[in-house]
Chain A
Amino acid sequence: MKIISLLTELEHLLDDLSFKELQLSQAKRLKKSVQIFKCQLEKQALDYTQGQIQSKQNSSAFQAQTHETSDEGQNTNLQFSRLSHDLKIPLNRIIQFINLLKEEELSKKQLSKINTIENTTQTLLNITNEQLVKNSRLNVDLEINEKLNFNLRGLVKDVMYLCRTLLNNKDIHIESRIDDKVPEILVGDPAKLTQVLLNILGYAIKYVQEGSIDLAIYLQKKENNNYYLEFIIKDTGIGLATNQLKHIFDASENSENNRVDSSYDLDLSISKQIVLDLNGNINVNSVLGKGSEFQLILPYKKSSIDLKSKINVSKKNESNVLKNYSILVFEDDELERKLLEERLKIWGCKFYFTDNVVYGLMLLESHKIDLVLTDLNTHNYRVFDIAGKIRRNKVLKIREIPIIDVASSLAVKNHQIYSKYKINDQILKPYTAEELLNKIIENTMKMKKTVSIPSKYINPDIEIISDATKINLSKVLEECLGKIFLLEELVLLYKQNTLEFIGVLSSELPDGDMKTVAFAAHKVKFGLGMMQSKSLHSLVVQIESILKADGDKKYINFLLKAFVEEYQLVEKAIDQQLNALKSVN
């Protein structure tokens, strides 16, 4: 409930913003994203409370069964961590919009208001992150050790950030440093390293009242391509006596001692297990009253990705850094799309957005695309569907296009599927602009080095999914009060209208009046909607949005071609439907 009151405050702050002076569209978007987020939150909170009430009712019915209450606790925990996760992404989206706003020229007054909004959002995010820290400790699959490329510095940055949110105003200085000899990109299991670091740092935060916590990472030794990293976590906490020290990694012993919170002991014993599984080592030194020092040794390999070739861009030079790039984005979320558009515009690259697999693939065939980004909230299988179709394409160049998936949760198991579909990389939400930029650059550079995909992956029968099969005219017939003659007339008009639209576009596009094109697009939409031709409708919407933006004729022409092809399928389907309805009526 604290979150909701904070949000209401945030909403008021947004109302106060002087919209006339701000760029109207941006201010509107920001406000809309806050509102949508708040609605989601309220719904979630409601579901959550209802869930709680329900489980309470259930448990009172079975009071004799004592284990019922512990189940309830677990359930609540799970629900809450899910809630936290759902909150994190929209909150980050707000922050990203705020960042975009801050890049505009703002008056001092506006800037101070924006800062207040940012602070409020940050507080919300911190509350959410605390829950996520608790959750991430429980969520790592202990059985599988992954071998993934990961950026150690980025990982440590995230861990430190999460730890700071755990401090709760304690006067603790928390810091990290990584020796220059430690490679940028390592191969190993980042999720497990995160868990171990969070566990140990969490333990330190628990027992340090004031002073400092330091994480230092060194290269202990290097054998061939094996890099043994030493992690030292030093705190100025209450420390441990020698007899306690012996059993620090033993959960059951410690809970008997009553000295510490058993959940943290469990964390330490899990950490030790993980470290041993990773062929590493963990030690602790401690002086009662002075503090503790944990030492971890973990082996990693250096990644073959060459980061020296990475273009390092400072914030100010970011604009137009991707000038000669073309990126195709599969995106099904309006707000995310806007956000990405803004970013890609700043980087100066050419970009195409779609949420439709078929048109995405057609785009790939007709345009020079350097990279595919997939960010589809609905279902993972769609991402795999897209990746599968790209990797089986007839054209070698298309088969080799790097694909980066924007994922909303770090599901470790995803990686197996990723490699199956040859998805090159993953970026986890929330990501910073810089992280995305680096991923794009890394992957487009890597592409030049990749080996060709063998021709056995080529499937000559690329299936085209079309909406044509989904057309159902019975609703339209209902609107015609069951009069088949009227439906026939409407179908005829529909065909005339659509063909006229194709005609207008074909004749006006080369050097005609774009206003006529826009008007034709606007007008044809109604008929398409009425005859349930969703795929055609969505193409027209895309044409309209290009007309509003830069009016790229090549792209519109391409969409028109797709429209014509799809229309042939739709027309056939409509005729079949009409005949079927005729025979029934």
Chain B
Amino acid sequence: MINKKLLLAEDDELLATLLNFRLKKEGYIIQLCRDGREVKDQLTIQIPDIIVSDIMMPYFSGLELIDFVRNDLKSDVPIIMVSSAGNEENVLSAFELGANDFISKPISPSELIVRLNRILCKT
């Protein structure tokens, strides 16, 4: 079992439900957040082992999230951004701000799992 804490910031319930199910199966302990404010609250309580976040979220965008984690919390926790197709400029900014990887919508949960495992192996 992996037993790693994963913060999943996704406001789309459909995707969140599917990912929650699949990632739990893989042995992750999931903290699910529906919007940017929840993410911020959660992060100030506890920093997870890895973060998966949508770029476009209400209140607090994915980019602001990276900035917050890297600069305010001074944390190196790996971050994977989820972006929709055609948002390439945002992806570039995400990398510049310190994201570790990104995955495009429509997401294949299996692909996300492979990417997660790869990043967690490295660290």
Binding site for B on A (CB under 8 A): 479-481, 483, 486, 489-490, 493-494, 496-497, 519, 522-523, 525-527, 529-530
Separation in Å of the A333 CB from the closest CB of chain B?
17
Chain A nearest CB: distance from B84 CB in Å?
A: 7
Q: Check: B105 CB closer than 8 A to any chain A CB.
A: yes
Bound state CA distance, A176 and B110, in angstroms? Answer: 67
Choice from B11, B17, B25, B110 contacting A523 with Cβ under 8 Å: B11
A496 to B16, CA, bound (A): 14
Q: From residue B59, how far is it (CB to closest CB) to chain A in Å?
A: 12
Which of chain A's residues have a CB closer than 8 A to the CB of B58? 519
Closest B residue to A500 by CB, please name it: B13
Instruction: Provide the bound-state CA to CA distance between A493 and B15, in Å.
Output: 9
Enumerate 9 A-B pairs (CB-CB under 8 Å) in ascending A order. A479-B22, A479-B108, A480-B18, A490-B18, A497-B12, A522-B84, A523-B56, A525-B84, A530-B106
Q: Which of B13, B17, B22, B106 contacts A529 (CB 8 A)?
A: B106
Taking A490-B18, A523-B11, A523-B12 as known contacts, 7 extra A-B pairs with beta carbons closer than 8 A to each other, sorted by chain A number, are A480-B18, A489-B17, A496-B13, A497-B14, A530-B14, A530-B15, A530-B18
Q: How far in angstroms is the closest Cβ of chain A from B44?
A: 26
Kindly list chain B residues whose C-beta atoms are within 8 Å of the C-beta of A490.
14, 17-18
B21 touches A486 (CB 8 A): yes
Q: Are B14 and A529 in contact (CB under 8 A)?
A: no
Q: Does B109 contact A (CB under 8 A)?
A: yes
Q: Which residues of B contact A (CB under 8 A)?
A: 11-15, 17-18, 21-22, 25, 56, 58, 84, 105-106, 108-110
B15 CB → nearest A CB, Å: 6
Q: How far in angstroms is the closest Cβ of chain B from A534? A: 12
User: Is B13's CB under 8 angstroms from A493's CB?
Assistant: yes
The answer on a CB contact under 8 Å between B14 and A526 is yes
Q: Which residues of A contact B12 (CB under 8 A)?
A: 497, 523, 526-527
In the complex, what residues of B have CB within 8 A of residue A481's CB? 21-22, 25
With known contacts A486-B18, A530-B14, A522–B56 Cβ distance under 8 A: yes
Tell me the bound Cα distance from A483 to B110 in angstroms. Answer: 15
Q: Which residues of chain B come closer than 8 Å to A497, judged between CB atoms?
A: 12-14
Closest to A523 in B: B12
Q: B106, A483: Cβ atoms under 8 Å?
A: no
Do B105 and A493 have beta carbons less than 8 Å apart?
Answer: no
Across the interface, which residues of B come within 8 angstroms of A530, CB to CB?
Answer: 14-15, 18, 106
Distance between Cα atoms of A483 and B25 in the complex (Å): 12
Q: In whole Å, how far is A524's beta carbon from the nearest beta carbon of chain B? A: 9
Bound-complex Cα distance A494 to B14 (A): 6
Residues on B with C-beta less than 8 A from A479 are 18, 22, 108-110
The distance in angstroms between the C-alpha atoms of A519 and B84, with both chains bound, is: 12
CA–CA, A108 to B120, complex, Å? 54
The CA of A497 and the CA of B15, in the complex, are separated in Å by: 11
**Does the CB pair A526–B15 fall under 8 Å?**
yes
Please, how many angstroms separate the alpha-carbon atoms of A481 and B17 in the complex? 13
**Chain B: CB-nearest residue to A496:** B13
* Candidate in B13, B14, B15, B109 with the most chain A CB atoms within 10 angstroms: B14
In angstroms, Cα B61 to Cα A519, docked, is 13
Indicate if the CB atoms of B17 and A483 lie closer than 8 Å. Answer: no
Q: In the complex, how many angstroms separate the beta carbon of A513 from the nearest chain B beta carbon? A: 13
Query: Chain A residue with minimal CB distance to B21?
Result: A486
A506 to B25, CA, bound (A): 39
| Residue pair A529, B21 in contact (C-beta under 8 Å) | no
Residues of B within 8 A of A489 (CB): 17
Residues of B within 8 Å of A525, CB to CB, are 84, 105
Query: How many Å lie between the Cα of A522 and that of B15 in the bound state?
Result: 14
**Cα distance, A497 to B12, chains bound together (Å):** 8
Name the residue among A490, A494, A519 with the largest chain B CB count within 10 angstroms. A490
